[in-house]
Amino acid sequence: MVARMRDWGMDTSGIQHDPQHPTGRVEITMDGKSHTFDILADQAYDHIEPAAARSAAKMRQCGVLCHGSLALRGASRKAFTEVYNTTDAPVFLDINLREPWWSKDAVLDMIQRANILKLNDAELEILRPQGLASTPLAEAVLAARIDWGLDALWLTLGKQGALYCAEGMEPLRVEPDDAQAPVVDTVGAGDAFSAGILGGFLKGSTPEETAECATRLATRVCGQQGATSQNPDVYKGLEAITK
């Protein structure tokens, strides 16, 4: 992984090496085109070293602090707090509600710290504020963003695309890049969508440009086996969208 990052000209200076714990691993069971996850416990990413994380954040200007909810299930929560208190960068949170590694109170606490939230429709159903149980989806997204104090909220809807909601605007419906494209494997599609969001955010792209980039990358990932590709062409051609 590190060698591939270097080959592609990516910065590896903030990567921590843990000689005691195994590289993070997830066992995925496929059933047709659906899948279930077994996210193994006590992995290296559960033991991110706080001082090293804080030092890495101080080395250069941080454009955004991006994290999920799974990596905060163990000792790494302290490392996140160190980085959070070190930088003034906006926080992008990508929710992953995987049993048994989450609690509603802990996830809502993470949301309160975030500026931008990405989650799917099933996760919204679980987390949506009280009183919104029967509210139409677009209204629920708008109300949740306000209730949670977020600058922006991205809600993914699978083959139905996504919804985007930000301060000062009505929810934006995002159509899928190609609803007829063949689906080989949906593992990694959500992370690909998040990558597109981050790329657009860091470049100052419009919500429409960002949504197009995110849905196109997610569609490409769904069209292959596995969440990532060794072929850099999978990730090319998106720069022109978010500029």
Domain total of the chain: 1
Strand-pairing partners, residue 118, are: 94, 154
Q: Is the dihedral of CA 151, 81, 71, 52 positive or negative?
A: positive
Instruction: Report if residue 167 sits inside a domain.
Output: no
In this prediction, residue 182 carries a pLDDT of: 78
Q: If 0-12 CB within 10 Å is exposed, 13-18 middle and 19+ buried, where does residue 116 land?
A: buried
Neighbouring C-alpha atoms within 13 Å toward the C-beta of 42: 2
Identify whether 102 is part of a domain: no
Q: Residue length, the chain?
A: 243
In a domain, 182, yes or no: yes
pLDDT band at 239 (very low <50, low <70, confident <90, very high): low
**H-assigned helices in the chain:** 2-7, 50-59, 76-86, 104-113, 121-127, 137-147, 189-203, 207-222
Place of tokens 């849905």: 215
Is 119 among the domain residues? no
Burial (0-12, 13-18, 19+ Cβ within 10 Å), 106: middle
Per-residue pLDDT tens for 77-111? Answer: 999 999 999 888 999 999 988 888 889 999 999 99
Could you tell me the residue range of the domain that residue 233 belongs to?
178-243
Quote the pLDDT of residue 90: 95
Stated pTM of the model:
0.88
Q: What is the pLDDT of residues 165-187, one digit of tens each?
A: 998 888 888 887 766 677 877 88
Cis link prior to 100 (omega < 30° from 0)? yes
Structural domain contains residue 213: yes
Q: Identify whether 190 is part of a domain.
A: yes
The token pair that represents 182 in the structure block: 């063949």
pLDDT digits (tens, 9 = 90+) for 109-133: 999 999 999 999 999 989 987 766 6
Q: Residue 224 falls within a domain, yes or no?
A: yes
Token readout for 155 is 């809600």
Q: Is residue 209 part of a domain?
A: yes
